[in-house]
Structure 1
Amino acid sequence: MILLQKSPIWERQPALCAAAIIALTTIVRFWFIASGQLDLVQDEAQYWDWTRRLQLSYYSKGPLIAWLISLWTAVFGDTELGVRFAAVINSCLAQIILYTGVGHLMRRPLLGLWTLVVANTTPLFIASGILMTTDSPLLVCWAGAMMCLYWMSVSPRNYLPYVLLGTAMALGILAKYMMLAMPGIAILYALGLRRQRMLPEGMVTRMLIALGAGTVIGFLPILIWNMQNDFVGFRHVAGLAGVASPDPKPLIRFDRFPEYIGAQIGLVSPWWFVFMLAGAWRALRVWRIPRSGRDMYSGLRNDMNEVRQSLLFSAAFWPLWGFFIIWSFHTRIYPNWSAMSYVAGMILCASALERSGQAVREAGKRLSRLRMRRIWVGLGMLLFVLLYGQNWLPLPSKYNPAVRLKGWTDLSHKLEELQNSLPDPQKVFYFSKSYDITAALAFYAPGQPVTYCADFGRRMSQYDLWPTPEDKKGWDAIYVQKDNGIKPQLKEMFASYEVIRYKTTHRDAPGREFTIVVLRDFNGKWPREQQERY
């Protein structure tokens, strides 16, 4: 009797396994946030502070993130859960879009499953599932738009993908300006299809209409706000990109690149980074050899869908990823700027992972016993557990990067104690010299007060567009900063001051250290030294 060995459950029931992964990771993320494992990152606190002044746009970002936080804080209150709940929902939606797109639309369910495995074991996706930053809603819109591009290339007369593409485009722009790169990807994909003689008739016209309508709808509120505020948002983005900086920069410099490429490897993990580049390089082959009549080249002979997929994923990965690699030789590039290229990158990584398993099986029983693929997946799962269980890691505080995000709840108790020790606790305001600390004080200071950001010579921020505390002459104040050393201007603003260096704790473990300055009798003079620095 011949016994047939059953294939693994993930090969027999990939949709069931995908549903289990989505459900389990969503539950873990909700537990992590609801149990208060990590204080708000300062940018999250800033976005929450924006919800108290809902506007058409803001200095550094579009308004979508403030609108989403406002929605869920109306349900859960002005709490960490209320601020971050949208990140959990966005992570769940992104996974559903990825699996539905790859597994159902592209008819590759096993690849869809491996995509979820890769996504949930990369630091970038892990962080986006618990931190409510602008990349969280952008990820959903970007993945949705990318799948719509593929959908319209296989069903060009179905109007639903065009409607969804326009919707994703509008919401994505409201989330982050990076969505403006999507039309370039769409056009490049269409050119690739045309080169392969696979471009459906009428697709380009409908696609451009959808992208144009979405761009106008999404960009209009941002444009109106910038017109009302001297275009400071656009000036800010241009300054960050190094194209409108007041300080001249050399055209080419090499000191930024090592830091940037190291950060990129860290965002996806070293092993997935290698798999991703391998998958991306293979997909790039489609652009080298055009299709002639019915002749196809080796490896893609019988699968037209794989040609479309390779065209789409390489168009969505290489230009964006490569642009920031090149631009990092000119100016500082923030690690998350290339994050959206990793949406396609994770699928390309999964495709390389899938092929590696097939190659091992085809190589014979001896190599099959090595099961190298399980090692990489196991490392990824270990990373998932370590990042979500970092509060239980026996790491010294100087080696635990999460320490700098902890301690705000403890600081809140210290600030309340200091405020109550002042002659009139009701006439005390809070401020800092940096926007991030100012935002965190708004959330964690007693009573979540309106806070202020003093300008002792820094880049402009949203707080410079809001009222300053000149009307609080005679009040006391509490000032907080991360570093030591007090600005001379600070001493000139008050009659007296007391400096305290405070080391916080978080769940009986070390947290961040702060400098607190208790100031008496504000003279009403508020510093302004921006000098057009955006």
Structure 2
Amino acid sequence: MVSWLRSPWLLALLLLTALRLLAAALLPLSPDEAYYWVWSRDLQPGYLDHPPMVALWIAAGTALAGDNALGIRLLAPLGVMLASLALAGAGNALLPRERPGVWAAALLNAMPVINAGAVLMTPDTPLFVFWCLALWAVGRLHAAADGRWWLAVGALAGCALLSKYTAALFGAGLVCWLVAEPTARRWWRDWRLYAGGAAAAALFLPVVTWNAAHGWASFAKQGGRAGAGEGFTLRFLGELAAGQLGLASPVLLLLCATGAALAGLAWWRRADAGAGLLAALTLPAAALFLWQATGSRVQGNWPAILYPAACIAAAAFTARRWQRIGAWLGLGLTFLVVLQAGFAPLPLRRGSDPTLARLGGWAGLARDVEAARIAAGASFVAAEEYGLAAELALALPPGVPVVAIGDRWSLFSLPSPPPGQKGLMLRSLRRGEGPSLWPGAVPAAEAVRARGGVEAERYRLLQVETPAGTEPMAMLPRPR
């Protein structure tokens, strides 16, 4: 045990986790993270966009470290560290001859997309962590041939479903393996397989209940993204490929694709059940994403759940020399992204710099908006965009009410603002100059969000008064 604790890879993982915690504390929050923080202050079994796990994680983190960037993101670096240990164990359990666990974890931790999820707090982070833990539990099941592990698999898969609906792909891949792998078919006769499935369903039941009580709002929203659209096009396939080249890094993407294919070949040629599980958890879902991209956009973060199993396959079935090259290249790209996000050494415009678009200039915008509010004699600040409203709720001085307006807020239990109050509303000019959600809004001025002199976004400031009319409004929570 002592020698294992002193192993270089574990020390490297601890150092990487410390660096991620530092980045989590220092980097500005994105609008989505601020929005999920609002969730954590109004805990429910479900939300319009996703299940509630990210809200629970943020609530736990802020209870420990406060309503700040570190508190909101606290469990992300710690969770990914746990997921890395789980992936190493899963790799060695599924492929005991190759024992690829350490290298699989190294490849995964070198990917820019995984490093982003290890710092930023979005639903993808708990999904990724519970996916890796469920994969570890399946690895233990396979190695020990002990049906009691099905209970752990079900519980962890259920927690993944509580994180994001795409966790259903884990269950789908597992079913494919149970059907296609001769040595696994015996589990169909074991009651503990069904008990594990029941555990996953029980954990997910509150989300179903919430949807039933709210017109199936979340299922309808996310279900509307499924499918391949209305016509065939190669444009989205190109976007998907380009996105994965950047998010996984080119060499690691190639290694993962090659490894997954070779795992399928090992399953076919030598009946390697462990390799078969890796293929079942990657190839069908990858085919699904590729099919969807023939007619509609696949967000770049969606395929990230394929990389844990794919990294195990890559570590087992590809050349170690290329793994080293891929790992260093991935870490280098990650370093450049973090450097740009934190210090912006390159004056890149918004279209070329996603860190500027999502992270840049929020503190300065809040200062300018507060000055404009005082000058206008407004009692509150409002926004139509949920992420913008949440950013203002976190960044404005204490005591300044922040009002969000839009249909989604009818699904929250947050209070409405009192009538007869004058406010100042921000509206992004990227939305155009069309009608505002707030009837009677009067243009007053403009504000700019910028980082290092480079404009990220421009906003129209409008004078408004409560009530707004028929659109739902909510008073957002403020930091404690």
State the TM-score, normalizing by the size of structure 1: 0.79
Q: Distance in 1 between matches of 2:364 and 2:136?
A: 44
Task: Determine which of 19, 32, 49 is the counterpart of 2:23.
Answer: 32
* 1:441 aligned partner: 392
Q: Distance in 1 between matches of 2:171 and 2:181?
A: 15
Q: Name the aligned partner's letter for residue 305 of structure 2.
A: M
- Identical aligned residues as a percent: 24
Q: Distance in 1 between matches of 2:411 and 2:201?
A: 28
- Please, what is the CA RMSD of the aligned residues? 2.9
The list of structure 1 runs, each at least 4 consecutive aligned residues, that deviate by more than 6 angstroms after superposition, is 12-15
Q: How far 1:509 sits from its partner (Å)?
A: 6.1
Evaluate the alpha carbon distance shift between residue 290 and residue 411 of structure 1 in structure 2; reply closer, same or farther with a 3 A threshold: same
Q: Distance in 2 between matches of 1:475 and 1:419?
A: 10
Secondary structure of the corresponding residue to residue 298 of structure 2: coil
Q: Name the aligned partner's letter for residue 361 of structure 2.
A: G
Evaluate the alpha carbon distance shift between residue 176 and residue 376 of structure 1 in structure 2; reply closer, same or farther with a 3 A threshold: closer
Q: Distance in 2 between matches of 1:250 and 1:176?
A: 25
Q: Distance in 1 between matches of 2:195 and 2:68?
A: 38
**1:44-443 to 2 correspondence within 5 Å?**
44-103=33-92, 106-107=95-96, 111-157=100-146, 159=148, 161-194=149-182, 198-199=183-184, 201-202=186-187, 205-206=190-191, 208-242=193-227, 249-289=229-269, 307-352=272-317, 355-357=318-320, 374-390=324-340, 391-392=342-343, 394-398=345-349, 399-404=352-357, 405-423=359-377, 427-432=379-384, 434-443=385-394
Unmatched segments (≥5 aa) in structure 2: 473-480
Q: Name the aligned partner's letter for residue 386 of structure 1.
A: L
Q: Distance in 2 between matches of 1:311 and 1:115?
A: 17
Evaluate the alpha carbon distance shift between residue 500 and residue 204 of structure 1 in structure 2; reply closer, same or farther with a 3 A threshold: farther
Indicate if the aligned counterparts of 1:261 and 1:325 stay in contact, CA closer than 8 A.
no
Evaluate the alpha carbon distance shift between residue 463 and residue 73 of structure 1 in structure 2; reply closer, same or farther with a 3 A threshold: farther
Task: Determine which of 447, 453, 456 is the counterpart of 1:501.
Answer: 447
Secondary structure of the corresponding residue to residue 433 of structure 2: coil
Q: Does 1:487 align with 2:434?
A: yes
- Higher Rg: 1
Q: Distance in 1 between matches of 2:247 and 2:90?
A: 23
Unmatched segments (≥5 aa) in structure 1: 1-11, 244-248, 292-306, 358-370, 529-534
Q: How far 1:174 sits from its partner (Å)?
A: 0.9
Evaluate the alpha carbon distance shift between residue 18 and residue 110 of structure 1 in structure 2; reply closer, same or farther with a 3 A threshold: farther
Matched residue pairs, number?
466
Q: How far 1:31 sits from its partner (Å)?
A: 1.0
Secondary structure of the corresponding residue to residue 288 of structure 2: helix
Q: Name the aligned partner's letter for residue 140 of structure 1.
A: V
Q: Distance in 1 between matches of 2:98 and 2:270?
A: 28
Q: Distance in 1 between matches of 2:136 and 2:437?
A: 53
Indicate if the aligned counterparts of 1:58 and 1:462 stay in contact, CA closer than 8 A.
no
Indicate if the aligned counterparts of 1:59 and 1:461 stay in contact, CA closer than 8 A.
yes
Q: How far 1:80 sits from its partner (Å)?
A: 0.8
Q: How far 1:206 sits from its partner (Å)?
A: 4.3
Q: How far 1:393 sits from its partner (Å)?
A: 5.6
State the TM-score, normalizing by the size of structure 2: 0.88
Q: Name the aligned partner's letter for residue 447 of structure 2.
A: R
Indicate if the aligned counterparts of 2:339 and 2:345 stay in contact, CA closer than 8 A.
no
- Residue deviations 1:217-250, cap 9 Å, x none? 122100111111111111111212248xxxxx52
Evaluate the alpha carbon distance shift between residue 108 and residue 437 of structure 1 in structure 2; reply closer, same or farther with a 3 A threshold: farther
* 2:457 aligned partner: 513
Evaluate the alpha carbon distance shift between residue 482 and residue 207 of structure 1 in structure 2; reply closer, same or farther with a 3 A threshold: farther
- Residue deviations 1:275-298, cap 9 Å, x none? 11111111111343475xxxxxxx
Secondary structure of the corresponding residue to residue 101 of structure 1: helix
Secondary structure of the corresponding residue to residue 282 of structure 1: helix
